[in-house]
Amino acid sequence: MARSIVGIDIGSTSIRAVELGDPHKPRPTLLRHFEVPLPDGAASRGEVLEPNTVAASLRRLWQQGGFKSKEVVLGMGNQRVLARDLTVPSMSRLRIRESLPFHVQDMLPVPVADALLDFYPVSEEVGDSGPVTNGLLVAAVKEAVLGNVKAVTLAGLTAVDVDLLPFAVSRALVTRTGRLGTVALIDIGANTTSVVVLTNNIPQFVRIIPAGGAELTQALRAGLEVEPGEAERIKATIGLAKQVSSPQEHQAVEIIYRVTGELLTSLRNTVSYFINTRPTTPVDHVLLTGGGAQLPGLADALSEMTRLPVAVGDPFHAVVLSRHLDATVLRMKRSTLSAAVGLALGSAA
């Protein structure tokens, strides 16, 4: 195993990476992190559209960020990835994987030959026809995955694994804590929001919602006629404010409440669906992460809608920080680096 590994989180507007030393240890060392912007149109919702452009950004990321390892773990987590409940006859995990094409064709939006399939076992029980294994089917459009791998290869890097982003974030924020109970983990990105519910650290349910913080930025730009940087500033400073002091701030708050309200309703409905379909598994609390989770007032609003405690997750409890890193800077970036940390942690799994 490599002495260090890099988790790469490719977004619509930037690439974030984290390098972990000794990834096989119970608490690897976070050696370095860095982020570079992506040119418009190079990637969308985490899917590489222009491999050569993204490869150039990756080379710049390695040069400016000082990354040493060229072995990387990639993440996928958009509408080209599906995660659904699946029950199959009990057998080895290898045989289950081999049998997936015969079980899942009706569940896929593309032919089986155009998809990459995996199965995550959750529990076992005895059904009418014998022992069965309950779990999560993970299916990704092959073209989307290979596009991301191609960009990495063009940059002179080696992709040792491709992981489902909700699983990666869960690994960073939940599964290594050892805490019992059921938690709903919500990762709000620029264009995609994922919800994964874990019971005793085991994922039970995954949903991916095609909405995120970029919709709010665009709505503010159009409604207030401001530049992207100003829209981001308004989001970061005003958020879901209860009181404002100027007509422009009042207009901004109206836009923020309207757009954010739509996402909050989707999140409440998703959590409610899990609770209603699994009445014996009550959700204890909600963890928030992702760039969109930094909107002021969001955690309180989500708590009010779901009637559950809501907190912002911390991915750094699972690692040791190198003495060269600034802990204050990392704390400010904890929501945006969760996916990259979880991807790197997955290399030891």
Could you report the per-residue pLDDT of 327-349, keeping only the tens digit for each?
Answer: 999 999 999 999 999 999 986 55
Element (H, E) at 129: none
User: Number of folded domains in the chain?
Assistant: 1
Q: Is 197 left (phi over 0), alpha (psi -120 to 50) or beta?
A: beta
Beta-strand relationship, 158-164 and 310-312: unpaired
Bigger pLDDT: 109 or 171? 171
**pLDDT above 60 (res 221):** yes
Instruction: Please state, as a whole number, how many other Cβ atoms lie within 10 Å of the Cβ of residue 179.
Output: 12
User: For residue 222, is it within any domain?
Assistant: no
**pLDDT above 80 (res 247):** yes
**pLDDT above 90 (res 10):** yes
By residue range, what is the domain housing residue 110?
81-141
Residues 6/17, Cβ–Cβ less than 8 Å = yes
CA distance linking residue 27 with residue 25, whole number of Å: 5
User: For residue 267, is it within any domain?
Assistant: no
pTM over 0.85: yes
Q: How confident is the model at residue 145 (pLDDT cuts 50, 70, 90)?
A: very high
CA distance linking residue 29 with residue 19, whole number of Å: 8
Query: Mean pLDDT, the chain, as a whole number?
Result: 92
Q: How confident is the model at residue 176 (pLDDT cuts 50, 70, 90)?
A: confident
pLDDT in tens, 254-271: 999 999 999 999 999 999
User: For residue 94, is it within any domain?
Assistant: yes
User: For residue 307, is it within any domain?
Assistant: no
Q: How confident is the model at residue 171 (pLDDT cuts 50, 70, 90)?
A: very high
Tokens coding 200: 């005793």
User: For residue 61, is it within any domain?
Assistant: no
Amino acid type, 171: R
User: For residue 151, is it within any domain?
Assistant: no
User: For residue 284, is it within any domain?
Assistant: no
CATH of the domain at 137: 3.30.1490.300
The pLDDT score that the predictor gives to residue 348 is 59
User: For residue 336, is it within any domain?
Assistant: no
3-state class of 17 per DSSP? strand
Sequence-distant (6+) residues with CB within 8 A of 121 are 93, 96, 133, 134, 135
- The lowest-confidence range among 127-131, 152-156, 266-270 is 127-131
Indicate if the alpha-carbon torsion angle 184, 80, 93, 345 is positive or negative. negative
